[in-house]
Structure 1
Amino acid sequence: MTDISRRTYLKSVGGTGVALSVAGCSSILGGGSAGTIVPGTASGFPPFEFVNEQGELVGFDVDLLTAVVDETDYELGEWSDLNFDTLITALQNDQIDTIAAAMTITEGRDETIDFTDPYYDANQAVLVRENSDFRPSGTGDLADRPIGAQSGTTGESEMQALVEEGVVSESQTTAYENYVLAVQDLVNGNVDAVIVDTPVAETFVADRPVVSAFTIETGEQYGFGVRTNDDDRQQALNEGLQAVMDDGTYEELTRKWFASE
């Protein structure tokens, strides 16, 4: 991508969102035709993917994948906005061709799907209410406290690890459809802590009456998910990702969506 086309692209995505497709509609079933990449995501994970006040799907992942596919011979299809814990099934069933949802590359997921090269590093943050005296400094301080995380995420895995360690009971954990609901429940006092990816936690701290109490060092990396037998799209996405990193587009999008970086 030339500097001129990159600036044109960034200007275009800066003022517009992506129209949401309805999961399961005829334009999605069967996945993308030859030359198309149909993307799936799970909104409610700002700043990576969320629905803005105009009802448009926006975010870092949306802009990044758009730029990456623009570097390939493929065309980007309509976005499908699904629950996070259904994305892998949708990919395996050919409803979508790639997952762009800040999905952590894990051994378990890598057994069922493949990933592109990593494009973002993260850890897990523990959010608590700003107006509360509860300020845990480690996982042990969460003992016997109601906590929450988004279903299907690494945050939920960390929450379940606390159950296995006996720090909290299963009845004290809540898995939410998305992190917007989880943080709202935290603000409302229904849970005392929420475990969420660090870059997303920073967004909630800036917009909601919550603070980050401490970080769980998990050393995660995000990747775009692809089907295990879809080598062509995987290679194309990797080459496109490298191109946007080399030409400065990735850095520009990082500055756009992560002001603190």
Structure 2
Amino acid sequence: MDRRTYLKTGTGLLAGGLVAGCTGGSGGDSTETATEGGDSMTESTTEAETTESVVPSTVTIGSDIPYRPFEYETTSGELTGFDVEIAEAVFKSQLGAEYEFQATSFDSIIPSLNSNNFRVIMSAMTINETRDQKVDFSDPYFTAYQTVIVRKGGSISSKSDLKGHPVGVQKGTTGANAAEELKSEFDGDLTLKKYDQINGAFQALINGQVDAVINDNTVNAGFANERDDVVFIEGEGVAAESDQEAPPYLTLTIENYGIAFREDDDTFRQRVNEALAAIKENGTYDEIYSKYFAG
């Protein structure tokens, strides 16, 4: 299955374009009765109010930043990344709204959404049953895999070699869940060290405080590709077993990312799904994907 079949980042704010909000209406012929003119005005006003309530003038987006390549800041402080550009394509280009990202810890991001701190979550968030009980998701827009990176030249070269070693993960993520499952597979013989942000786990790996990091493949790849002392554990995993087009390294899970909404936001969610479908159809999605991911 090609990842491109799915429509797929904190300090710093990023704003998009203005809402396209005006709804025109005819003043009517001079022979219209007062009642007919009033009905026309009411219908026009109701339509405008409905549009306003469905698509806000500014869409606030909760996100755990940094999480390269999905959401991160450049050296000049500009927020960028795959999720950021998808947000621009969806909210600004398709829906005509401004948007801004709000930095939020990932392990508290769903409660923050449900407390009305922002309108949606875009944070490389995997759709799963546990989260789906608390939020509603858009159609999937990216496929990812949980993977394992280690220090090059060490004693770990396969999944079984991880047994008895300390492994770094980010709190509240599906990477942490995958590590818990691996710990169970090893009858508890795996030490998990959990960090507030993935960069903490990466630094622990370099410092020798953990011997591996379990995390999304594209984020692990972004880190490993910048260094010559970090590599993926190789081997076939669940992607190969499910007859998917598997990446050339061990995969512990197959996951789909979605935009998360509060459960009472169905109409706005539908508009976003339509926008995701549109950017896939018109080639915008593939352009953004190619910018951040090889292949």
Match of 1:218 in 2: 253
Q: Which runs of 4+ in 1 moved over 4 A?
A: 167-170
Over the residues paired in the alignment, what is the CA RMSD in angstroms? 2.1
Match runs of 1:66-145 below 5 Å:
66-73=88-95, 75-130=97-152, 132-138=153-159, 140-145=160-165
Structure 1 residue ranges without an equivalent (≥5): 1-16, 22-31
Distance in 2 (alpha carbons) for counterparts of 1:91 and 1:74 = 22
Deviation at 1:125, TM superposition (A): 1.0
Task: List per-residue Cα deviations over 1:208-230 (Å, max 9, x = no partner).
Answer: 33111132241210011111110
Residues 1:204 and 2:223 aligned together: yes
* Identity score, percent: 36
Structure 2 residue ranges without an equivalent (≥5): 1-8, 14-53, 235-249
Task: Look up the equivalent residue of 2:218 and give its one-letter code.
Answer: P
Match of 2:200 in 1: 181
8 A Cα contact 1:18 1:58, kept in partner = no
Larger CA deviation: 152-161 vs 74-83:
74-83
TM-score, structure 2 as length reference:
0.73
Q: Give the secondary structure class of the aligned counterpart of 1:237.
A: helix
Task: Look up the equivalent residue of 1:184 and give its one-letter code.
Answer: Q
8 A Cα contact 1:72 1:236, kept in partner = no
Distance in 1 (alpha carbons) for counterparts of 2:58 and 2:148 = 39
Instruction: Evaluate the alpha carbon distance shift between residue 152 and residue 257 of structure 1 in structure 2; reply closer, same or farther with a 3 A threshold.
Output: same
Instruction: Evaluate the alpha carbon distance shift between residue 34 and residue 119 of structure 1 in structure 2; reply closer, same or farther with a 3 A threshold.
Output: closer
Deviation at 1:78, TM superposition (A): 2.2
Match of 1:150 in 2: 170
Instruction: Evaluate the alpha carbon distance shift between residue 167 and residue 57 of structure 1 in structure 2; reply closer, same or farther with a 3 A threshold.
Output: farther
Instruction: Evaluate the alpha carbon distance shift between residue 174 and residue 43 of structure 1 in structure 2; reply closer, same or farther with a 3 A threshold.
Output: same
Task: List per-residue Cα deviations over 1:213-260 (Å, max 9, x = no partner).
Answer: 1322412100111111101221111111111111111111011111x2
Distance in 2 (alpha carbons) for counterparts of 1:224 and 1:187 = 32
Match of 1:233 in 2: 268
Task: Look up the equivalent residue of 1:40 and give its one-letter code.
Answer: G
Distance in 2 (alpha carbons) for counterparts of 1:93 and 1:18 = 18
- Between structure 1 and structure 2, the one with the greater Rg is 2
Distance in 2 (alpha carbons) for counterparts of 1:33 and 1:117 = 18
Deviation at 1:204, TM superposition (A): 1.0
Distance in 2 (alpha carbons) for counterparts of 1:77 and 1:247 = 22
Task: Look up the equivalent residue of 1:20 and give its one-letter code.
Answer: G
Task: List per-residue Cα deviations over 1:1-55 (Å, max 9, x = no partner).
Answer: xxxxxxxxxxxxxxxx99715xxxxxxxxxx994432111111221111122112
Distance in 2 (alpha carbons) for counterparts of 1:19 and 1:149 = 22
Instruction: Evaluate the alpha carbon distance shift between residue 18 and residue 151 of structure 1 in structure 2; reply closer, same or farther with a 3 A threshold.
Output: closer
Deviation at 1:65, TM superposition (A): 1.1
8 A Cα contact 2:156 2:162, kept in partner = no
TM-score, structure 1 as length reference:
0.82
8 A Cα contact 2:55 2:95, kept in partner = no
Deviation at 1:166, TM superposition (A): 3.8
Count the aligned residue pairs: 231
Q: Give the secondary structure class of the aligned counterpart of 2:194.
A: strand
Distance in 1 (alpha carbons) for counterparts of 2:125 and 2:56 = 25
Q: Give the secondary structure class of the aligned counterpart of 1:68.
A: helix
